[in-house]
Chain A
Amino acid sequence: MADVYYSVGQNSNDHSSGGNVSITSGIATFDTAQVATNLGVGDRLTYGGHICYLASKTSTTVWSVVTALGVAPADHASTTVDSIGHEYTSLSAAEAGASDANHLNTANLVTGTYHLFFPLYNDGATDSTDMVVSGYTTNSTYYIKFYTPTNTSTECNQSQRHTGKAKSGGVFTGFTKENTGGDIAMGVSSDYTTVQGVIFWATGNYCHGLNFSYGASYCISRENLFYGFGRWDSNYNGLTISDYHRGSSYNDIFVKSKLRVKKDQSANVYIYNASVYGAVIDAGTWGYGVVRNSVASSFEGTFNAASSNNASEDATAPGANSLINQTLTNISWVSTDTNTEDLHINSGSTLKDAGVDLSGIFTTDIDGVTRTGTWDIGADEYVAAGGGLSIPVAMADYRQMRN
């Protein structure tokens, strides 16, 4: 079993700080601290005619490294660092290139026993090429994960994830997948694919964000932020999940973007702790949408009987212990002003302590804060000013979510 990392950003610049590097038993030791803000796991280190990839961080001078196949590279005496840069400059290229002969040389992660990780870096631009994840063979043990690294002790020099807010200072704050008007920004047809911590932003008309399509089983969207996909037509969705073998959404935020369960088969879809402002959660009429701890302007369709602890601005929040007819004053988002929407909640929100404990499935919120006490409804677990700590999801927790 091997963990393989190929980073994705928007440029191919050399982010190294220079100096020399030596490699011993998979540990790269630099004589000069590697301090670029957008440097981290998955980046390609080139030295003395060799290539390896940053796999974890001990400090800015000590990183563990692996080959393209996820094993320790040969030891190497101190030599000049030629460059450190992202492996790919777009998600579409990364998805297409990861299986080529210079990388895995297979799309079968099961026989190769690979975990395929794509760490996503925010170089300041958006990734605007529509793409589809397909053709990979996966299972519950060997899977694909697209994610923004957040842990500055073990993964990267600066968090690459959004702050849970639509924009700050007029710009998005993390890796952003933009749809300029194509059909779907990111489609997923390969099973066991997780997309975590990405901003999906609609700048074009009539387009979708993330789509777990027919045939994609056990896919997870979590801690993503969907922005503006329903501006032109409410038939266009931020997140679409086919009810094909239990897709899931955890801690996702939707600003003027719909979350839709689409009928293809007949397996439950799990929507937990979603925050939806200016749009609906649409479960269709088939009853496969299990929605818990989620808030939306309205809920459309027929929800599974296991749904509970939801909140709506009208009378449609489904299930036991749900809050209906909640005004925006009751809900008390931090901001609903256009372009500065912030769906964190204030201390007086009725969403606070109105959820149910789902810690058997996940334990954190949109910010990586561990949920404690009675859970809140929505993606944000309220933390008093000055509190909160960004904690990445541990691999054990990630695997637990698969079950």
Chain B
Amino acid sequence: MAKLLLINLATYRPGVNNIGDVVGIFKDGHAFSPAEIAGFDIGDMPALTETEIHDELIKITPSQNTAYRLPEAKKWVFDRPEEKRVWQDQNGVWNELATTPKYPYCLPLKATEIDSAKTADKATAITLLQGKLELNIPKFSENLLAIDDLNLKVEISG
């Protein structure tokens, strides 16, 4: 019983967002305003709860962390260590998170899919979500720079 508010052609701004970007997730009973109905696609998925949609988002959400580059080891200094935000891709590689997307997720549904979602059962709705849901972090090339220091493999010899 949930609705997704999605960027559509009316609110698409090149370089800022993309068609299908998930602007928000709302409970089924939420009534959107005329401005929202005119400016966004509304992915109405009555078979799924807000929590179930969040669960699907979490499944594709990568680990994120802050990495610190320490000054010379065992030396007291006043400066704090240099820090970067990093994220872990599907292959387990830690990459720099240079650009945080305005919207973390994109669900580029076609008009026919928006229509069918309204009557889809839970299994079909989940399948639709899993098939269409995209993570926006890897869409930025600057976020694909691996941080070698964090990806050192420890080889254990027999």
Contact = CB atoms under 8 A, between A and B. Distances in A.
B102 A86 contact: no
A356 interface: no
The 9 lowest CB-CB distance pairs between A and B, nearest first, are: A135-B16, A129-B24, A12-B33, A97-B39, A132-B102, A100-B39, A12-B31, A92-B24, A100-B10
Contact of A92 (B23, B31, B34): B23
Interface string B17-53: 1000001111000111111101110000000000000
B28 to A, nearest CB: 14
B11 A85 contact: no
A134 B35 contact: no
Interface size class of B (residues with CB under 8 A): 20 to 34
Given A135-B16, A285-B80, A102 B24 contact: no
A142 to B, nearest CB: 18
Nearest to A6: B35
Nearest to A132: B102
A162 interface: no
A47 B22 CA distance: 32
B31 A93 contact: no
A266 B24 CA distance: 35
Contacts of B5: 90, 92-93
A87 B80 CA distance: 45
B78 interface: yes
A131 B79 CA distance: 32
Given A89-B32, A129-B25, 7 more contacts: A6-B35, A93-B23, A96-B40, A100-B10, A100-B39, A131-B23, A135-B15
Interface residues of A, number: 32
Contacts of B23: 90, 92-93, 96, 129, 131
A205 interface: no
A12 B26 CA distance: 13
A124 interface: no
Contact of A96 (B17, B38, B64, B78): B17
Contacts of B25: 129
A213 to B, nearest CB: 8
A285 B32 CA distance: 46
Nearest to A189: B102
Specify the main secondary structure of chain A where it touches its partner: loop
Contacts of B40: 93, 96-97
Given A12-B32, A86-B33, A135-B102, A102 B78 contact: no
A96 B32 CA distance: 14
Contact of B36 (A93, A101, A134, A183): A93
Interface in A294-314: 302
Nearest to A184: B100
B35 A87 contact: yes
Contacts of B36: 12, 88-89, 93, 97
B13 interface: yes
A402 B147 CA distance: 40
A44 B17 contact: no
A97 B35 contact: yes
A88 B34 CA distance: 8
Contacts of A131: 23-24
Given A100-B11, A101-B10, A285-B80, A88 B102 contact: no
Among A100, A101, A102, A103, the one with the most B-chain Cβ atoms within 10 Å of its Cβ is A100
Contact of B13 (A90, A99, A102): A99
A139 interface: no
B7 interface: yes
Contact of A93 (B24, B78, B80): B24
Contact of A135 (B13, B31, B34): B13
A134 B33 contact: no
A88 B33 contact: yes
Contacts of A86: 33
A213 B100 CA distance: 10
Contacts of A87: 33, 35
Contacts of A324: none
A11 interface: yes
9 contacts: A44-B33, A89-B36, A97-B11, A97-B35, A99-B11, A102-B35, A129-B25, A132-B102, A135-B13
A107 interface: yes
Among A6, A86, A102, the one with the most B-chain Cβ atoms within 10 Å of its Cβ is A102
B31 A284 contact: no
Contacts of A97: 11, 35-36, 39-40
Interface string A177-197: 000000100010000000000
B136 to A, nearest CB: 12
Interface in A155-195: 183, 187
Nearest to B102: A132
A285 B81 CA distance: 10
Contacts of B33: 12, 44, 85-89
